[in-house]
């Protein structure tokens, strides 16, 4: 839907600041006057919650970044994309009073003297390295999260003269095909933004990924180091209660040395690769992968996505059902599709 759809027109009339946001430059979108917004505009409205306070952007293809987005949707099957995410604060007069731009590429991230930028940074008018000042939280009526995506032809498939990627994926961006903007308007919660921020817990709401944990370790961030330790404890629980409690033996007996099973809502995938066993636990919202070398007696975490409570639930569910549900345990069987030489 574009800005001229009846549904969007109704929301834009109810929230006039949306028009102001659409006039902002937000790479890869350069403002409403560039004529590219006739493709897709999605507007949602919901209450702000604790997860929003520690939300982070996932920018791709911006600045000098060598990253890009891919899609399995047929519409963009042979295309590559850019993504930029932004946060705006709106006051009682429904005017933009602050904006947060996340680092566009790794170089900007490296220069930033802080672990990462959270959505809650929007409540400070001045942010320099690790020093925050000028709180505006009492003035904020709405928070607005904006995700901009642009899809391009991939020179790898369309340009006969394309010879390589000396500039990484940047050399592969061809003709602009479409632009989409997704706007989520977060209304002030009943307790207000100030109390919401105080009640929010980093250990419950921060989505963990490998890059964040690595950067946190290098910067000696106490919270991240603590959370790494919690993930390590989950790994020990899984190896003792599941992997070395029958799973390893079952996996070694199957023909393809790989197996999978369903434990409630959690899918478990186990496969051998390069002399190591990889075990992944995942559901619709989160996943964690453990690895163990042949003949080693301990596992370690090699990747994860999700909050600590989500990942903890994965491990607890599999541990409980592996030890208490014979039917689920016996359903853990060979999976030819997971076989890796």
Contact 18, 183 (CB under 8 A): yes
Does position 46 have pLDDT exceeding 70, yes or no?
A: yes
Location of structure tokens 């000696």: 220
Highest-confidence segment of 22-31, 163-172, 239-248: 239-248
Contact 35, 114 (CB under 8 A): no
Helix extents (H) in the chain: 6-14, 17-22, 50-53, 106-111, 155-158, 192-199, 202-205, 210-218, 222-238, 248-253, 308-324, 326-330
* pLDDT tens for each residue of 179-193: 999 999 999 999 999
Beta strand 333-334 with 173-187 is unpaired
At 130, the pLDDT band (50, 70, 90 cuts) reads low
50: helix, strand or coil: helix
Counting residues of the chain whose pLDDT is more than 70, the rounded percentage is 87
Length of the chain: 341
At 132, the pLDDT band (50, 70, 90 cuts) reads confident
Q: Which pTM does this prediction carry?
A: 0.85
| Least confidently predicted of 30-44, 48-62, 85-99, 312-326 | 30-44
At 335, the pLDDT band (50, 70, 90 cuts) reads low
Residue 115 pLDDT: 66
Does position 341 have pLDDT exceeding 50, yes or no?
A: no
Does position 339 have pLDDT exceeding 50, yes or no?
A: no
């Amino acid at each position: 839907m574009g800005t001229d759809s009846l549904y969007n027109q109704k929301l834009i009339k109810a929230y006039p600041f949306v028009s102001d946001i659409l006039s902002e430059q937000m790479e890869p979108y350069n403002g409403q006057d560039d004529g590219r917004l006739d493709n897709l505009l999605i507007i949602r409205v919901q209450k702000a919650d604790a997860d929003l306070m520690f939300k982070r952007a996932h920018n791709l293809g911006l600045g000098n970044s060598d990253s890009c987005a891919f899609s399995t949707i047929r519409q963009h099957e042979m295309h590559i994309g850019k993504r930029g995410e932004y946060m705006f604060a709106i006051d009682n007069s429904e005017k933009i009073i602050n904006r947060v731009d996340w680092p566009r590429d790794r170089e900007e991230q490296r220069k930033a003297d802080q672990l990462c930028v959270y959505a809650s940074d929007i409540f400070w008018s001045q942010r320099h390295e690790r020093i925050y000042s000028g709180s505006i939280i009492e003035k904020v009526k709405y928070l607005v999260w904006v995700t901009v995506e642009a899809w391009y032809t991939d020179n790898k498939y369309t340009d006969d003269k394309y010879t390589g990627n000396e500039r990484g994926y940047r050399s592969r961006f061809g003709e602009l095909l479409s632009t989409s903007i997704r706007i989520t308007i977060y209304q002030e919660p009943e307790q207000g933004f100030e109390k919401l921020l105080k009640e929010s817990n980093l250990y419950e709401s921060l989505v963990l990924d490998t890059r964040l944990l690595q950067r946190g370790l290098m910067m000696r961030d106490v919270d991240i180091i603590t959370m790494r330790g919690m993930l390590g404890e989950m790994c020990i629980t899984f190896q003792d209660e599941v992997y070395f409690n029958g799973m390893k033996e079952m996996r070694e007996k199957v023909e393809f040395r790989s197996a999978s099973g369903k434990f409630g809502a959690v899918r478990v995938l186990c496969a051998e690769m390069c002399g190591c066993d990889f075990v992944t636990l995942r559901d619709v919202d989160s996943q964690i992968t453990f690895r163990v070398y042949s003949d080693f007696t301990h596992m370690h975490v090699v990747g994860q996505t999700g909050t600590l409570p989500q990942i903890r639930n994965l491990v607890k569910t599999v541990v409980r059902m592996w030890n208490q549900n014979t039917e689920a345990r016996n359903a853990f069987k060979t999976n030819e599709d997971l076989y890796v030489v």
